[in-house]
Structure 1
Amino acid sequence: MYAHGGRRTRAEHDAATVEIGYAPAGAAFAAAVLFGAVAGPALLFPLPQLPSTVLLRLGLALAPVVLVARVVSVLVHFRRESQPSQPGRTNPDS
């Protein structure tokens, strides 16, 4: 990830900034979609009290879990991809 003696290039810095911004935005979208899929029927249709409560609580419990898991997975994946596969080599043909 670091070029020229350990300093980041502008492109590497920009890529890290984009990934840091993408991770929470994409995670929030995924959590919202999951909440809508799980709790949506309880909000849209007149359901009995128990199923409605269960769906709402399940949606409220799963959404933050998905949010955190997605942020962590995106950032870990980005970190893993940005490291060179062969440390010390600067040219893939060397």
Structure 2
Amino acid sequence: MTVEIVFALVTAALLAAAVFGLSLVPALLIGASEPAGRAALTAGVVLGVAAGIWRLVRVLLSFDAWRREGR
């Protein structure tokens, strides 16, 4: 069970970092002003956290389903 939890945490962190980074790329490329840059940062954090939590829950639920099936 520990391996599954670590896998879920690592993949969730990687997905959150990727979503956060991808959400900031447009703001960095166009050189957004202070308010727009702060809004892009906030949106990136919110989207990254949401994606990470979604991945964590999805992986843990799928491992639980596999365990219940006896795989």
TM over 0.5: yes
Counterpart Cα distance in 1 of 2:28 and 2:10: 24
1:37 to 22, 25, 48: 22
Matched, 1:48 2:33: yes
Bigger fraction of residues in helix: 2
Name the SS of the counterpart of 1:42 in structure 2.
helix
Q: Which amino acid aligns with 2:31?
A: P
Name the SS of the counterpart of 2:32 in structure 1.
coil
Provide the residue aligned with 1:63 in structure 2.
Answer: 48
Provide the residue aligned with 2:4 in structure 1.
Answer: 19
Cα offsets for 1:51-93 (capped at 9, x unmatched):
32221110011111111111111001100111127xxxxxxxx
Provide the residue aligned with 2:67 in structure 1.
Answer: 82
The alignment yields a C-alpha RMSD, in angstroms, of: 1.9
Moved over 4 A (4+): none
2:58 to 70, 73, 79: 73
Counterpart Cα distance in 2 of 1:72 and 1:18: 15
Counterpart Cα distance in 2 of 1:18 and 1:44: 39
Provide the aligned length of Structure 1 versus Structure 2.
Answer: 70
TM value normalised by structure 1: 0.63
Counterpart Cα distance in 1 of 2:28 and 2:9: 25
Structure 2 unmatched runs, 5+: none
Structure 1 unmatched runs, 5+: 1-15, 86-94
Between the two structures, name the one with larger relative contact order (CA 8 Å, sep ≥ 6).
Answer: 2
